[in-house]
Chain A
Amino acid sequence: MNARSRRLCVALVASLLSVPALAWAQNPETVTQFVGSSDLDAMKYRHLWLAYGVIWLLIMAFVARTARRQSELKKDLDLLSSRVDDMEKNRE
């Protein structure tokens, strides 16, 4: 289950990474619509990119952290449950 969920996370992250690239590719086209843009327009574009960058950076960081924590926990869980089994067998 964990390997799968990790794969899901990777897939999600990869596809999310493709989004800014996609949007970036459209950028020049939209910029030409605003010929002679003032400082305010430049700021608007800058803030738009910043905002979406922050959104996905935060979400991806969260997903990555969760995936890492979960794989660590899975490892711990396997190790500990096998140890418990061993110990209980030894006791009997």
Chain B
Amino acid sequence: MNVRLALTALATIGVVAGHWLAFDFAPVEAQMGVVQKIFYFHVPSAMACYAGFIACCIGSLAYLWTRKGRWDALALAGAELGLIFGLIVLITGPLWARPAWGVWWKWEPRLTSMALLVLMFSAYWVLHTFGGSGEGVRRFAAALAVFATPNIYFVHVAVEKWKGMHPEIQNKGSGGLSPDMRTAFVVCMVVLLLLFGLLLEQRYRMHLQSRLVAALRRRIHRIGGDA
């Protein structure tokens, strides 16, 4: 438990430090101006989003093979966190794109595949949450998560080829970062992934607890039925 306390404290300090580094320490980018600073939390959020969906995929695969409920709990926790961070990416992205590109949205490979990724895992989440509590639904959702993950690659390839129609695509890689910018970026990345890990663990634990509560309810029902 103390490890978690220490990590949470570290994450808290890291969040403050990350903001300081992003806003004050790192220089303002010459071409894009201050709006470039969105990037310091936008890209790490995307990484956290991928991490969440990968956790969901791994958990789902393990659940389909072992049929142990805790893997399903991990998959659900991963999907939820992936969705939160994916939402952050999809909201902050256009906020950056509007001043930088002049448009809110472009049918660019990265944007399209991210949007579809979030859409697919929303379907997973909706299915898991509202589809009923049967094991069949859970297994089905798990299969969906496994299906969805490689699909990202296909969407990416598809839109990359499609790009021929849009020659004016700008890429926002991290190639041209100054050393100070790089420092800020790396710190923000570590901090956000740490936060992601803490939240994932917390959420996973919560789903395990809720399963325990459901099991206890069933047990009481059974005992009550016998008595």
Residues of A within 8 A of B (CB): 1, 4-5, 8, 11-12, 15-16, 18-19, 22-23, 26, 30, 33, 40-41, 43-45, 47-48, 50-52, 54-55, 58-59, 62-63, 66, 69-70, 73-74, 76-77, 80-81, 83-84, 87-88, 90-91
CB neighbours of A63 from chain B (8 A): 199
Across the interface, do B206 and A12 meet the contact criterion of CB distance under 8 Å? no
Given A12-B11, A55-B45, A70-B206, A43 and B98 contact (CB-CB distance below 8 Å)? yes
Q: Does B23 lie at the interface of the complex (its beta carbon under 8 Å from any beta carbon of A)? A: yes
Q: Does B159 lie at the interface of the complex (its beta carbon under 8 Å from any beta carbon of A)? A: no
In B80-103, the 8 Å CB interface with A consists of 84, 87-88, 91-92, 95-96, 98-99
Across the interface, do A44 and B99 meet the contact criterion of CB distance under 8 Å? yes
Residue pairs across A and B with CB atoms within 8 Å: the count is 121
Q: Does B138 lie at the interface of the complex (its beta carbon under 8 Å from any beta carbon of A)? A: no
Across the interface, do A22 and B34 meet the contact criterion of CB distance under 8 Å? no
CB neighbours of A88 from chain B (8 A): 223
CB neighbours of B30 from chain A (8 A): none
Which of A1, A26, A51, A76 makes the CB contact (< 8 A) with B24?
Answer: A26
The docked-state distance in angstroms from the alpha carbon of A83 to that of B220 is: 8
- Per CB-CB distance, the 4 closest pairs between chain A and chain B, nearest first, are A44-B35, A80-B216, A51-B92, A47-B95
Main secondary structure of the interface of A (DSSP, over half): helix
Given A55-B92, A69-B206, A84 and B34 contact (CB-CB distance below 8 Å)? no
Q: Does B178 lie at the interface of the complex (its beta carbon under 8 Å from any beta carbon of A)? A: no
Which of A8, A47, A52, A70 makes the CB contact (< 8 A) with B99?
Answer: A47
For this complex, 22 residue pairs linking A to B, each with C-beta atoms less than 8 Å apart, are: A8-B4, A12-B8, A15-B15, A16-B15, A22-B16, A23-B19, A26-B23, A40-B99, A41-B34, A44-B34, A51-B42, A52-B41, A55-B45, A55-B88, A59-B84, A66-B203, A69-B210, A70-B205, A77-B209, A77-B213, A80-B217, A87-B227
